[in-house]
């Protein structure tokens, strides 16, 4: 029998001690029943990658069945929550023998990643995002996967994908439409415009804005308040709200993977990335 070559890695490539995601379950500042998921790649402003998605899949499975964890706080280390995406490991480059096969491979990889994001977003435990600094691209999408979002006054939010020729590929524009309305989702995703924490609060994207030094104390205080309530009731409420709010999301995410794959193999995407790297305006041709 010939060897089977996998076109997409689903297990973490790095040893756990080198992961950029760290799960803390015994921090004194968090309090009983509260765990923290730390995005810990500060030198890259916690930029996300395929490898980070694989790590998230592993950690979400641990959190789901850990009865000690009643609430999860997600935060970034360093100067940002998450400033977007990183190309990741060399072996994570999506390839194919033709543009069609490359698009198919990308779409299938993205569908797998979407399944991991859904597992994270639908954890039985409520998730509180503590956002500071840059929360851009996938960082914004990750924050939108959380149940409640607190922001430091210095937080900046954006979905800049259209400015580099890519579709929003992790459901951020749909979650934004759910929370802020379709008009705001289209405005922010179609322009790539950045908004500050005060605007994010005004449109319902974040639930409170605090001084940067108060962000973690406020997030942990909120988490402890939730954790003190009956776990079965808390989890039932989260599930009921999600079932109502996310109706239609699964179907839309399937389409999102295919649309993102189309932009992935377009000529506009490399032109957009090159322009961004050169700090100049991109000239898109729509092909």
Contact in structure between 225 and 218 (CB atoms under 8 Å) = no
Given the residues 16, 141, 213, 267, the one annotated as active site: 141
Task: State the DSSP string of 98-116.
Answer: SHHHHHHHHHHHHHHHHHH
Contact in structure between 238 and 64 (CB atoms under 8 Å) = no
- Does 141 qualify as catalytic in the annotation? yes
Task: State the DSSP string of 245-261.
Answer: HTTTHHHHHHHHHHHHH
Given the residues 161, 173, 267, 283, the one annotated as active site: 161
| C-alpha closest to that of 46 among 29, 73, 22, 15 | 22
- Does 213 qualify as catalytic in the annotation? no
DSSP 212: G
The Cβ of residue 147 has, within 10 Å, a number of other Cβ atoms equal to 18
Q: How far apart are CA 90 and CA 109, in angstroms?
A: 16
**Which residues are tagged catalytic?**
141, 161
């Amino acid at each position: 029998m010939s060897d089977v070559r996998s076109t997409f890695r689903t297990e973490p490539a790095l040893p756990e001690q080198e992961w950029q995601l760290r799960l803390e379950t015994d921090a004194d500042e968090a309090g009983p029943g509260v765990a923290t998921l730390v995005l810990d790649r500060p030198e890259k402003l916690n930029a996300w990658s395929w490898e980070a998605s694989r790590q998230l899949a592993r950690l979400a499975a641990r959190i789901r069945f850990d009865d000690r964890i009643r609430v999860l706080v997600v935060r970034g280390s360093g100067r940002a929550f998450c400033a977007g995406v990183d190309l990741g490991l060399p072996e994570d480059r999506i390839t194919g023998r033709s543009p069609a096969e490359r698009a198919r491979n990308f779409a299938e990889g993205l569908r797998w990643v979407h399944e991991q994001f859904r597992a994270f977003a639908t954890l039985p435990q409520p998730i509180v995002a503590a956002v500071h600094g840059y929360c851009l691209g996938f960082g914004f999408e990750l924050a939108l996967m959380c149940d409640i979002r607190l922001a430091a006054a210095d937080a900046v939010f954006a979905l800049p994908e259209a400015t580099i020729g890519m579709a929003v590929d992790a459901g951020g524009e749909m979650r934004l439409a759910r929370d802020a309305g379709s008009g705001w989702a289209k405005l922010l995703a179609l322009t790539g415009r950045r908004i500050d924490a005060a605007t994010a609060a005004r449109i319902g994207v974040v639930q409170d804005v605090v001084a940067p030094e108060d962000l973690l104390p406020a997030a942990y205080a909120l988490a402890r308040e939730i954790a003190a309530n009956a776990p079965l009731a808390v989890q039932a409420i989260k599930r009921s709200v999600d079932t109502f709010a996310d109706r239609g999301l699964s179907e839309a995410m399937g389409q999102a993977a295919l649309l993102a794959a189309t932009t992935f193999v377009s000529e506009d995407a490399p032109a957009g990335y090159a322009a961004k790297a050169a700090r100049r305006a991109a000239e898109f041709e729509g092909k």
